[in-house]
Amino acid sequence: MKAFRFAPVFALLISLPTHAATVAMEDQSQSQLHPTASPVSATFQPPQESQLPDNAYGKLVRQGYALFVDTKRLAPQFVGNGLNCSNCQLDQGRLANSAPLWGAYPMYPAYRKKNDKVNTFADRLQGCFQFSMNGGTPPAADSPEITALSVYAYWLASKAPLGVELPGRGYPEVAPPAKGYSLARGAEVYKDQCAVCHGGEGQGQKGGDSYVMPPLWGKDSYNWGAGMHRFNTAASFIKHNMPLGKGGSLSDEQAWDVAAYLNSHERPQDPRLIGGSVEKTRVKFRANDGVNLYGQTVEGVLIGQGIR
């Protein structure tokens, strides 16, 4: 039997450029679908808990589920604010148009502009801990926390096609208002539609020591490195999911206005802060990174100074 010859192919591979920055690539982690919401009836339906086997796999899925909905309590060493995974992916990571886990898991590995590399799903989860939950150093890729969350996501996506953008994935894009956003209008939308749950000062609501409604700014909210600080991302989430149980009730303009308003308030600093400089951090990490106020001055106040 002849031996296979890999040397020429290997030589070709190692001669190719390896730096991601030298290759123009789309952000594969972002949805390329037409920017419209998908009705629940038209979207993929993940399995139900009753379908879980009573074995080690089923036990790990349940552990991942518990961690997903109760992250702050079960993994306090990796959560520096008051949020849980389920605050950004609603209905236990199941809800279409709310970045459901079943729509995300089959699309990784994927290139992300945010860190200019191909990310595994574990990398993506680590980013959530670092930015959305302001957790400092995230759990290791092979940690019990990342393993359990990955297995839970895999189970939800277990009947989904691999590498196919399913309707309902991510937060469907909402076009910016033709005349621009308004912080003043956003303040009115917030007062009328959001404050009843999230508080007049964005502080959220607590039941005991835990938040039952997440804070939207301040020390216990997501930090300036989280994707939700971008108006376009927050507007898309808000339009399709807020007010809770009434997704789709706000106009595109209202979604943009209130997204801008809540992201004009201070929150924990971007952990990638360069040399204590907001401006250097803005230049390096905010180029072509959506619409945001980080590093800009609004009414004489520099946005992005961070809060502890």
**Residue 202 shares a structural domain with residue 291:** yes
SS3 301: strand
- Count of CB atoms situated within 10 Å of the CB of 41: 7
pLDDT less than 70: residues of the chain = 1-41
pLDDT of residue 104: 98
**Residue 202 shares a structural domain with residue 283:** yes
| Contact by Cβ (8 Å): 250, 193 | yes
Assess if residue 6 is contained within a domain: no
**Residue 198 shares a structural domain with residue 143:** no
pLDDT of residue 288: 79
**Residue 212 shares a structural domain with residue 136:** no
**Residue 122 shares a structural domain with residue 190:** no
**Residue 189 shares a structural domain with residue 146:** no
Domain boundary among 110, 139, 156: 156
Q: One-letter amino acid identity for 191?
A: K
Q: Would residue 7 be called left, alpha or beta, if left means φ above 0 and alpha means ψ between -120 and 50 degrees?
A: alpha
- Which residues span the domain enclosing 42? 23-156
| Contact by Cβ (8 Å): 113, 289 | yes
**Residue 278 shares a structural domain with residue 213:** yes
Assess if residue 214 is contained within a domain: yes
Domain boundary among 156, 173, 191: 156
pLDDT of residue 39: 63
Assess if residue 17 is contained within a domain: no
Count up the domains in the chain and report the number. 2
pLDDT of residue 36: 59
| Contact by Cβ (8 Å): 236, 207 | no
**Residue 253 shares a structural domain with residue 199:** yes
**Residue 152 shares a structural domain with residue 28:** yes
Residue 184 exposure: Cα atoms within 13 Å on the Cβ side: 1
pLDDT of residue 20: 36
Assess if residue 85 is contained within a domain: yes
The CATH number of the domain holding residue 289 is 1.10.760.10
**Residue 120 shares a structural domain with residue 220:** no
pLDDT of residue 42: 74
**Residue 151 shares a structural domain with residue 28:** yes
Assess if residue 145 is contained within a domain: yes
pLDDT of residue 16: 32
